[in-house]
Structure 1
Amino acid sequence: MMTGFRLNLSPLKEPLGFVKVVEWLTAIFAFGSVGGFSGTNIITLLCGDGKNETLSANFHYPFRLSQIPLVPSNTSICNHSVAATYLVGDSASASEFFVGTGVVCFLYSMAALLVYLGYMHVYKDSDFGPIFDFLLTAILVFLWLVCSSAWAKGLQNVKDATNSNGINNTLALCKGNNVTCSVTEFANLRSLNFSVVFGFLNMFVWAGNAWFVYKETRWHSQKFSQPGPGHQQVPAPI
């Protein structure tokens, strides 16, 4: 059996190869929209004496909010001494799990495309290739479901911690003291919202691809090649 590289672009015209290209692209959109994010919310404080002051809540990937200072050091705000204060929450595990899954799928899609386009003759001549491909695809479907759900909850936690209610609950100065705190400028979270959509989209794309990969396995071929009850196998002509 020849095992050398043989470039063949025909798999790209079939669902098996075409969907892999789609998976490669959607994985990039998923982890890329989270991994490079950085945003700032501007908090306006209306002091009792008519004076206004502002604070900045700068948050970014991986969203360890508890390490991000809202008030970096002992500071006088609205004529009150305010101790160093940090945002509340930590969505690092959810965001890193999501990005990690996306990177793994990105790399696996490229590796699978290399096999499909250069070693399809080896892939189809062995049981190991299609079965390994199917099992790993099924695992990745599950990972996309889990990481997308976790990141959707993690993103909501980020929003809750950086909105007006979250800031009021975090900054003691905003509780009484005749000081009103509110977020007047919000970071653009569109890319993060899209990341959740792309996460679940990846789950559906990989689930659909699992069927086409399953058709390449011997489990599928045996299912349709075995004779049914009451039927005799006809010997092949000599």
Structure 2
Amino acid sequence: MMTGFRLNLSPLKEPLGFVKLVEWLTAIFAFGSCGGFSGRNIVSLVCGDGKNETLNATFHYPFRLSQVRLVDGNTTLCNHSVTTTHLMGDSSSSAEFFVGVAVICFLYSMVALLVYLGYMHVYKDSDFGPMFDFVVTAALAILWLVCSSAWAKGLQNVKDATDTDGIGATLALCKGSNVTCEVTEFASMRTLNISVLFGYLNMFVWAGNAWFVYKETRWHSQKYSSQPGPARQQVPAPI
């Protein structure tokens, strides 16, 4: 059996290779739309004497909000001394989990495409290759479901911590009766919403691809070869 590299682009015309290419692209969009995010909310403080103050809440991936300073040092706001204040919450675990799964899928898709396009003759002649591919593909589909759900919840926590109610609960000054705090300018989180959508899209794509990979395994071939065929008509022996 020849095991050398033999370039063949025909697998890209088949579901097995084409879907793997789609997985490679959707993984890029998933971690790119989440991992590269940086935004800023503008917080306006209306003091009791009519004076206005402004604060900036700048946050970015991996969304360790508890390390983001809302107020630096001992600052006077609305004639009140305010100590160093950080935002509340930490969504880094769900964000890094999501991006980590996306990067793993990106790398695995590249390796799988290399095998499909250069070593398909080896892939189909062995039992290990398709079976390993199926197990990994199915496992990654499950991981997409888990990490997308976790990141969706983490993203909601980020939104809650950086909106008017979240800032008001964080900054003690805002709890006073003579000071009104409101987020007047919100960072665009469109790319983060898109990242969640791409996460669930990847789940469906990888789950669908698992079926095409399964058809290449001996489990699928044994299933059909073990099914009884049509009964053969008995031919009477000559007298």
AA paired with 1:189? M
In structure 2, the partner of 1:32 is 32
Shift of the alpha carbon at 1:146?
A: 0.3
Q: Deviations over 1:47-98 (max 9, x none)?
A: 1111101000000000000000000211000100001000000000000000
Deviations 1:146-167 (A, max 9, x none): 0000000000000000000000
1:223 matched to 2:223? The reply is yes
Where does residue 8 of structure 1 map in the other structure? Answer: 8
Q: What residue identity is the alignment partner of 2:97? A: F
State the secondary structure of the residue aligned to 1:89. coil
CA RMSD of aligned residues (A): 1.1
Please tell me the residue identity of whatever aligns with 2:131.
I
SS class of match (2:168)? helix
What residue is the counterpart of 1:235 in the other structure? none
TM-score (norm 1): 0.96
1:236 matched residue in structure 2: none
TM-score normalised by the chain length of structure 2: 0.95
Counterpart CA distance in 2 for 1:155 and 1:227 is 49
Q: Secondary structure at the match of 2:41?
A: strand
Instruction: Give the SS at the match of 2:57.
Output: strand
Q: Which residue of 2 aligns with 1:118?
A: 118
Query: Against the structure 1 CA distance between its residues 189 and 227, is the aligned structure 2 distance closer, same or farther, given a 3 Å change threshold?
Result: closer
Question: Structure 1 residue 186 and structure 2 residue 186: aligned?
Answer: yes
Distance 1:230 1:148 in 2: 47
Which residue number corresponds to residue 85 of structure 2? 85
Q: Displacement of 1:226 after TM fit?
A: 2.0
Instruction: Show structure 2 runs of 5+ residues with no match.
Output: 233-239
Query: Which residue does the alignment assign to 2:53?
Result: 53
1:129-188 superposed Cα distances (whole Å, 9 cap, x missing partner): 000000000100110000000000000000000000000000000001400000000001
Query: Partner amino acid for 1:160?
Result: D
Q: How many residues align?
A: 232
* Residues 34, 227 of structure 1: alpha-carbon distance in 2 compared, 3 angstrom cutoff: closer
Matched, 1:100 2:97: no
Q: For 1:227 and 1:109, how far apart are their aligned partners in 2?
A: 34
Matched, 1:72 2:72: yes
Asked if 1:160 is matched to 2:168, the reply is no
Q: Distance in 2 between matches of 1:71 and 1:229?
A: 77
Written as runs of structure 1 = structure 2, the 5 A alignment for 1:200-219 is: 200-219=200-219
Q: Report SS of the residue matched to 2:73.
A: coil
CA distance in 2, matches of 1:26, 1:19: 10
% identity of equivalent residues: 78
> SS at 1:49's partner residue?
coil
Q: CA deviation at 1:225?
A: 1.4
The AA in structure 1 aligned to 2:174 is C
**CA distance in structure 2 between the aligned counterparts of 1:227 and 1:90, rounded to whole angstroms:** 54
| Equivalent position SS for 2:187 | coil
